[in-house]
Amino acid sequence: MQGGSVSVASPRPALTPAEPLERAPATSDTEIDLVAIALLLWKRRWWLALAIALATAVFAYYAFTTPPTWRAEVVVTQVHEQSMGGAASLANQLGGLASLTGLNIGGNPNEQDYQAVLESRYLLQEFITRNDLLAKLWPDPGKRPTLWRVVQRFQKGVVSIREDPRRGITTLSVEWTDPPTAASWANGLVALANELIRTRALADSQRNIVYLNAQAERTTDVDLRHVIFNLIENQTKTEMLANGRADYAFRVVDPATIPEFRAAPHRTLLLITGFVLGAVLGALFILAWDWVQRQRERLRRGTP
């Protein structure tokens, strides 16, 4: 009985120190693996240096052979006309006459129309056509591009518009290989947007005045004639404003100037990226090659 109790009690103290003994080798194995990786990379350092040199050379070639571009920016705000509120109140007094005839009593497009014109393809198409930029934007003489393709390239690769609703400003940017051209195009696009909106507002005002004069001659109601004459006066003010102000829809806060620092390519960043990418790819290649070699050695020895 005593011998049996001794044999039963003897395994219990042996199980207690077993857990820390099993955990210790795991930690040491991890440390040994990190050291082994470092030693392996140092042993194959010439391969690693070759990978870094190749990747850096590729990025350097791209950085120094890509034509540099400069970015010119013009900052504008939308013009708000306080006098247009009177036109809307006068239009309500016509009792639906304007809505039935499709008359634009306000005379001016709203702010959403202003921004839509600035971001429209039609603006870019008109700018390219007026300045004869087809050959300049598509220098390949072997192909005759359509105007649609040129506008598409101009919209995606040259012009960008950034709106800040909180501050109420819009920034139009132009990136091109020639700094003076970039600044000229940025200012020219804003000027053309003002011209297109002003021309449309002027045409609407003239059409409205003709229509209102015809309605005034047909009616004999004194109150209605008074409202119509007030609307004619308001449309005349809009016409005078459109003829007399260049910044009709967008007021230029900060015109584009000739940039002195290129926007792309970022050569320093590209060289750093090439160096880091080469180091990472080189290290992965060395580790993968070492793993393949060890697997081949195990298969040769017949060990699992």
What residue has token string 């139009």?
172
Give the mean pLDDT of the chain: 78
Q: Find residue 254's DSSP bridge partners.
A: 75
Which pLDDT score, from 0 to 100, does residue 3 have?
46
Average pLDDT of 280-297? 88
Which pLDDT score, from 0 to 100, does residue 171 have?
93
Distance (Å) of CA 86 to CA 14, 119, 230: 97, 29, 10
Which pLDDT score, from 0 to 100, does residue 110 have?
57
Q: Picking from 37-46, 85-94, 127-136, 234-243, which range would have the lowest pLDDT averaged per residue?
A: 85-94
**Cα–Cα distance measured from residue 223 to residue 233, given in angstroms and rounded to the nearest whole number:** 15
Name the DSSP letter for residue 68: P
Q: Which domains does the chain have, with CATH numbers?
A: 47-66+265-304 (no CATH), 69-263 (3.30.1890)
Average pLDDT of 23-49? 70
Residues with Cβ within 8 Å of 178's Cβ and at least 6 positions away in sequence, in order, are 70
Which pLDDT score, from 0 to 100, does residue 277 have?
94
Which pLDDT score, from 0 to 100, does residue 265 have?
81
Q: How many helices and strands in the chain, by DSSP H and E?
A: 13, 5
Q: For the whole model, what pTM was predicted?
A: 0.68
DSSP assignment of 182-225: HHHHHHHHHHHHHHHHHHHHHHHHHHHHHHHHHHHHH---HHHH
The residue among 205 and 75 whose pLDDT is bigger is: 75
Which pLDDT score, from 0 to 100, does residue 176 have?
92
**Cα–Cα distance measured from residue 174 to residue 75, given in angstroms and rounded to the nearest whole number:** 12
What is the distance between the terminal CA atoms of the chain, rounded to a whole angstrom?
A: 47
Structure tokens at 261: 């620092």
pLDDT higher than threshold 80 for residue 158: yes
Structure tokens at 287: 């580790």
Structure tokens at 257: 């100037």
The residue among 7 and 34 whose pLDDT is bigger is: 34
Structure tokens at 233: 């006066």
52, 55, 60, 65 alpha-carbon torsion, rounded to 10°? 160
Which contacts (CB < 8 Å, 24+ apart) does range 137-146 have? none
